[in-house]
Amino acid sequence: MKPVSEKLSDGLNKQITAEFESAYLYLAMADFLQGRNFDGMAYWFRKQADEEKTHAMKIHDFLIERHLTPVLGEIKAPNTQWTGVMNVFDEAYQHECLVSSMIYDLVAQAMEDKDYASLSMLQWFVDEQVEEEEQSLALLEKARMIDDVASGLMVLDQQMGARTD
């Protein structure tokens, strides 16, 4: 198997950091929601944060498999100046769209390199992003529908607290 190109391994290393930054962002969102007594929403975002860590490790372990040493970058503190639930969900959705574009850049590089092993690994992320974007957009649309009405927020809080995966 031909080695991972420097450009692609740089990108994969940056993606490890980006996935940990996603985990950090979602944990901060969980804490913000917890502070407003939305226990179910906080639980949902904690689960989301856990999932992001598994994304980071998936790329991390792929680099190990390809006989490379992962380079762990600096994790930026998230901006936590949210105005409310809708603002949190809006940022979560925008964030997933950004992550998708980062994944597509990695795919483009792997294609240019004709690195089929990396492409196969990245395909999992392409599929995952479809789910992530859909999920966060659905939450945003529900929040827009509720428009900050307490009874609606409480129902959504309960629904999000029932997350099983």
* Nearest alpha-carbon partner for 11 in 89, 135, 125: 125
**Residue 66 burial (CB < 10 Å; 0-12/13-18/19+)?**
middle
54 vs 80, beta carbon nearer Mg ion: 54
CB of 102 to Mg ion, least distance (A): 9
CB of 45 to Mg ion, least distance (A): 13
Contact track, Mg ion, 15-54, x by CB under 5 A: ----x--------------------------------x--
Question: For residues 14 and 70, is the Cβ–Cβ distance under 8 A?
Answer: no
Binders of Mg ion: how many residues, by CB under 5 A?
3
- Give the SS3 label for residue 120: helix
CB-CB neighbours of 97 under 10 Å: 13
55 vs 60, beta carbon nearer Mg ion: 55
Rounded to whole angstroms, the Cα distance separating 56 from 94 reads 19
Residue whose tokens read 């190109």: 5
95 counts as binding Mg ion under rule CB under 5 A: no
Please identify, among the stretches 3-11, 13-21, 34-42, 63-71, the one whose residues bind Mg ion according to the rule CB under 5 A.
Answer: 13-21
Which residue in 9, 30, 55, 122 binds Mg ion (CB under 5 A)? 55
Residue ranges in contact with Mg ion by CB under 5 A: 19, 52, 55
